[in-house]
Structure 1
């Protein structure tokens, strides 16, 4: 993962303040994948309460260093909207599907430490039927093989046809079929870094968030269970 740290004194102070505020909101999550070949039951999404807490403005300002500001604001708004379901709020992932698949467009933001990183991620073949490398459309429909937009809750780990994988629960009307469609996080050869110099783009998934084969453990370790992945176009 290509990682960098917000180094200016001003940003360091902002991140420190955000970390203190968010520490009270973050709860412990389950350990990463332990290698079980028996999937657990799907994650249950609790109802969202009223008056959900908001992330500090300092977190928003600092994260702009990595992510398009408009997309970041939408992601944080979704985090507030779904705060009853998303218990761990110290880290979030944002997929900027405005960028082509040749760009590292899966952004990881750790508000507590002030670190950000990003890596390559594939989109669905139904979202890019001509295989241009750009996502053309979203879909929540069964059989579409397309990527969906909206807020996802990271669920449990299992071993399936793509090997180690993590379930995702769609929290919005635009992605609420994700669990039934088996839209998950998994690794794939067609999402490896060497696809870019060879082909200028990644291969396509069936709507899943496919990452490089040597990146999957990094993704699982960062997100764990109970955190948000927000996917959209800026």
Structure 2
């Protein structure tokens, strides 16, 4: 009888410990800095961006910050991450993709293109360039560093504000508008973007 009681108690304790595993696992998965929480880029995309930073080390001046556009996500979601590599913290923003990458205006990037006139988004590593004032106001040039986006400068792919990036459109139609391939941001966010994603930073765009 004593053996039976010990086995019963052992089984009960083991069962209770197994029941607590999911909550502990959740705590680990969603702990800040893991990349599994909504405000952080996926670990895979972050690793790709870090690898790009290392590969283009000679051309990047700021090695403490990464700007990452996750085009795996729909345009209704904040999918542009500004990551502080020193603290591991990140901030998220809405960003538009190009019309040519989403011809049916589904809100999702269907494909990338580096072709002139495609009005599509290009994946890859970008060096953030100088500030200028264009048709959308204060904007920032981008220089493509990879074969899949090396026409970015010639195609005038830039960072700029746009009226069609706002939460009202998301409420009305479930998505924001599309750019001509540029990284277009809400007017309320552009000052923060231009301040933090400064000349000399790396911007990395991709799908996972």
Q: Of Structure 1 and Structure 2, which has the larger fraction of its residues in helix?
A: 2
Task: Check if 1:124 corresponds to 2:124.
Answer: no
> What is the TM-score normalised by the length of structure 1?
0.72
Out of 159, 164, 169, the position equivalent to 1:195 is 169
Based on CA coordinates, which of the two structures has the bigger radius of gyration?
Answer: 2
Aligned position for 2:70: 96
Aligned position for 2:182: 208
Q: Does the C-alpha gap of structure 1 residues 153 and 232 become closer, same or farther in structure 2, counting only changes over 3 Å?
A: same
Aligned position for 2:80: 106
Contact 1:63–1:109 (Cα < 8 Å) also in 2: no
Task: State the shift of 1:112 in Å.
Answer: 2.2
> What is the TM-score normalised by the length of structure 2?
0.81
Which structure exhibits the higher relative contact order, with contacts defined as CA atoms closer than 8 Å and separated by 6 or more residues?
1
Out of 131, 151, 170, the position equivalent to 1:177 is 151
Distance 1:113 1:78 in 2: 19
Aligned position for 1:78: 52
Out of 132, 136, 156, the position equivalent to 1:162 is 136
Secondary structure at the counterpart of residue 167 of structure 2? coil
Task: Check if 1:231 corresponds to 2:205.
Answer: yes
Aligned position for 1:69: 43
Query: Pairwise CA RMSD of aligned residues?
Result: 1.5
Structure 1 runs of 4+ aligned residues shifted over 6 Å read none
Runs of 5+ consecutive residues of structure 1 not aligned to the other structure: 1-7, 13-61
Cα deviation, 1:52-84, whole Å, max 9, x if unaligned, reads xxxxxxxxxx36351111111111111110001
Give the paired residue count: 176
